[in-house]
Amino acid sequence: MDGWMDGLSIQHCVMINEDTKSSQEERNQRTAFMKKENHSSKLYFTMGDLLQLRAFTSTLLPVALCVLTLMPHSLLGKSSKEDNTGSSALLHRIKRGWVWNQFFVLEEYTGLEPLYIGKLHSDMDKGDGSIKYILTGEGAGTTFTIDDSTGDIHAIQRLDREVKAQYVLRAQARNRLTDRPLEPESEFIVKIQDINDNEPRFLDGPYQATVPEMSKIGTSVIQLTATDADDPTYGNSARVVYSILEGQPYFSVDAKTGMVRVSLADMDRETRENYTVVIQAKDMGGQLGGLAGTTTVNITLSDVNDNPPMFDQRLYQMSVPESVPVGSVVGRIWAKDRDTGVNAEMKYSIIDGDGRDTFDISTDPTNLFGIITVKKPLNFENKPSYTLKVEGANTHLDLAFHHRGPFKDVTIVHVSVEDVDEPPVFDLPAYYIELPEDTEIGTVMKTVSARDPDAANHTVRYSIERSSDPEKYFYIEITSGSLMTVRLLDREEVGWHNITVLAMEMNNPTQISSVSVAVKVLDVNDNPPSLTDYLEAYVCDNAKAGQLIQTVTAVDPDEPLGGQHFYYSLAPEAANNPNFTLRDNQDNTAWILTRRGGWSHQGQTVFYLPIIISDSEQPVQTSTSTLTIRLCSCDQGGNVMSCNAEAYSLPTSLSRGALIAILACIFVLLVMILLMLSLRSHHKKPYLCDEEENVHENIVRYDDEGGGEEDTEAFDIAAMWNPREAHPNLGKMRQDMLPEIESLSRYIPQACVMGGGGDGGVHGYVLAKLLEADMDPCAPPYDSLQTYAYEGEGSVAESLSSLQSGTSNTDHEYDYLNEWGPRFKKLAEMYGVLDTNSPPPW
């Protein structure tokens, strides 16, 4: 055998026969003998056959190949290499090692005993237990075990091809005593044979799909793919066939590809929108016994523009008040479309009617409704109704369904204008008035006019809004609307007046309108100029004649159009004074110059210089301002050192020692005065014992409060009307509190009280109290009464009433009101007192 195997290209074979000498648990197993040359020793491996019939058939192919490799060359024919070398070439035996083949084990073994895989045996094994078999590699010891004495290999765990499809193991025979390897380590593969234990699965289900409505038959909807975990290269375990369980006759599925398609034409979304389709995937090619999985496909028909719009009304009736502003909404219309989304969007337009220029129509933000708005002001008296012809059309058309059109519709809208009571309307939106500030009181400056726009044309009354004229400068005639002044205007105080005139209907006071009237006060030259700087200057005692000591300027609150121009001059009484003169610079400034030199502090040290300032506008306004000039001591640079004139008025013969003596005497005198005042403050005088002191000027303090009308204990009014009855109840006290002092009435002599007669009443009681106070000057005035004489002819103040003033023929003089100060200035003006004899302000 070794001779004819030398030329083989395959270095191993598998032989299958019946091993009648196997152990009894290995019954009916086929044995594969694996032979390997190694130092004249042989190693046999027996694989247990627990495979099913298809596993056995799967091994026929490698067996046949092995048989072919073992056949002599004479049966197979010569190779091309042998033809080249010739028939006389000698065959030499080549020593080769064995290469282990793959071994197959069925997955999902469910037996109670470990699964027998095979047997490892060496020809050196004499059966005396001296050989130890070793198994290493993937799963050795955990998934696979070996009996080290017999070489039997078992699987101790359940095998799953979908978890691990094959295991690579290594086998070796060793001497049990020396642990020396008897055979080189050999590698072999255990492949897990697949069985149909996994059903097809749709990993992404359930599915959502969309297809346009009205689609043709065969339109693709969605591609489905089911995954089978079984081995696709072995049998039909992973060959999947698709079928539809639910969803006919609307949809179908391709059995091989899983493509879902439309199987019914012209499906209408408006009739039915959603469909549920159940798809099944079955392995084993769909044969009986195959495993199956299902999934659900929710199919939605998407909308296409296949329905034209249509108004739900052929005639719309709307109404709008005539007073609504431009842009107000009148109403809305809707052309309904069975489609949705962009296919239902509309565009509206007014295509005809007498209201095309008065009303407008636009689409709302949803692009579904048409909004009719007011484009121009409405007037019931001019036109009470309008008619509009409105068209609504789809904005997105589908040419594939153009034959279902036209995709637009027309309706009629009738708009009625409602009459309302409108407020008055002024003839101008605003008024502007220019008025000189010297306008006399009562001058009519403008006449505003408003009318009732309604057909009734009610009477209009005018007024000025109070908040717009708080100082009440103006008045408006209630019926004619004439605006006039009621106070003198002053541009320098208020240059602009913005008043609001109200117009109100007589028959409906709620109908009020307003208009703004702007009054600009024009300037009039009514204010004299005056000096702007501080009205005081100084002149140095070493000043020469003609020396500038002050530059003066003026200010005028008036604002002439040509600008201000002032003229300066000295007052006539000061024009020829020997000390100072004035020079007008003709640029609104003037210089004050000295006329002489040789100034001395022994003479006059303060000078008053009256200056006349005039403006150039008509009427010319003139004022006089007095400039105070002080004589000061200056250094050579003209800087002021002192302006104290008294220091120079002392006699030159008075020495410093005399000055100190005078100051000392003044100090001693002050100390003596303070000492006397201090001693006097320690003297304590008797409390209210000075008969000359007026007790009516004392502050009276009451710590108790009466109880009101309910309090009958606090005060007995009968004592005031009848003093005789007051004394028997002297011992009766208030029950709510203790009085600080007892009533002084117990000290009243009865003769004094009774002296006024039985009907003396309150007058007698008051006299008694007054007598008691006079008799006891040291008693504290806890209760002080002040009596005022009757007002009238017998009074010093005479009568203060004006009831009989009209009967007097004499004129009353109110000149004294001018002497009462500014608080009574308004009163003096009311009585017509004018201070005509007062001196001018300059």
530: closest CA among 103, 842, 803, 238? 842
| pLDDT, position 377 | 92
With 70 as the cut, is the pLDDT of residue 754 above it? no
| pLDDT, position 746 | 42
Between 528 and 80, name the one with better pLDDT.
528
> b/e for 689-704, b at 16 or more Cβ within 10 A?
eeeeeeeeeeeeeeee
618: closest CA among 552, 561, 568, 569? 561
Q: pLDDT-derived band of residue 613, with 50, 70 and 90 as boundaries?
A: very high
With 90 as the cut, is the pLDDT of residue 462 above it? yes
Distance CA 638, CA 581 (A): 20
Distance CA 80, CA 508 (A): 130
Q: pLDDT-derived band of residue 717, with 50, 70 and 90 as boundaries?
A: low
Q: pLDDT-derived band of residue 410, with 50, 70 and 90 as boundaries?
A: very high
With 60 as the cut, is the pLDDT of residue 472 above it? yes
| pLDDT, position 272 | 92
Residues 6+ apart with CB under 8 A from 509: none
Tokens of 154: 């078992």
pLDDT digits (tens, 9 = 90+) for 314-357: 999 999 999 899 999 999 999 999 988 888 899 999 999 999 99
Start-to-end CA distance of the chain, whole Å, equals: 160
Distance CA 450, CA 792 (A): 58
Distance CA 572, CA 611 (A): 9
| pLDDT, position 189 | 87
Q: pLDDT-derived band of residue 235, with 50, 70 and 90 as boundaries?
A: confident
Phi, psi of 350 (to 5 degrees): -90, 115
pLDDT digits (tens, 9 = 90+) for 146-198: 988 888 888 888 888 888 888 999 888 899 888 898 888 888 888 888 788 88
| pLDDT, position 635 | 86
| pLDDT, position 319 | 95
723: closest CA among 764, 751, 770? 764
| pLDDT, position 276 | 95
| pLDDT, position 351 | 94
Which residue is it, tokens 């009466």? 706
Residue 542 and residue 589 in contact, taking contact as beta carbons nearer than 8 Å: no
Q: What is the mean pLDDT of residues 484-499?
A: 92
DSSP secondary structure string, 308-344? --EES-SEEEEEEETTPPTT-EEEEEEEE-SS-GGGG
Between 85 and 419, name the one with better pLDDT.
419
Residue 348 and residue 361 in contact, taking contact as beta carbons nearer than 8 Å: yes
Strand partners, 188: 169
DSSP 8-state secondary structure symbol assigned to residue 572: G
Distance CA 121, CA 21 (A): 14
DSSP 8-state secondary structure symbol assigned to residue 408: E
DSSP 8-state secondary structure symbol assigned to residue 201: B
Q: What share of the chain is helix, strand, coil (3-state, %, to 5)?
A: 15, 30, 50
Q: Mean pLDDT across the chain, nearest whole number? A: 76
| pLDDT, position 288 | 84
Please state the pTM of the whole predicted model.
0.42
With 60 as the cut, is the pLDDT of residue 461 above it? yes
Which residue is it, tokens 């699987």? 155
| pLDDT, position 745 | 42
Residues 6+ apart with CB under 8 A from 677: none
With 80 as the cut, is the pLDDT of residue 425 above it? yes
With 80 as the cut, is the pLDDT of residue 573 above it? yes
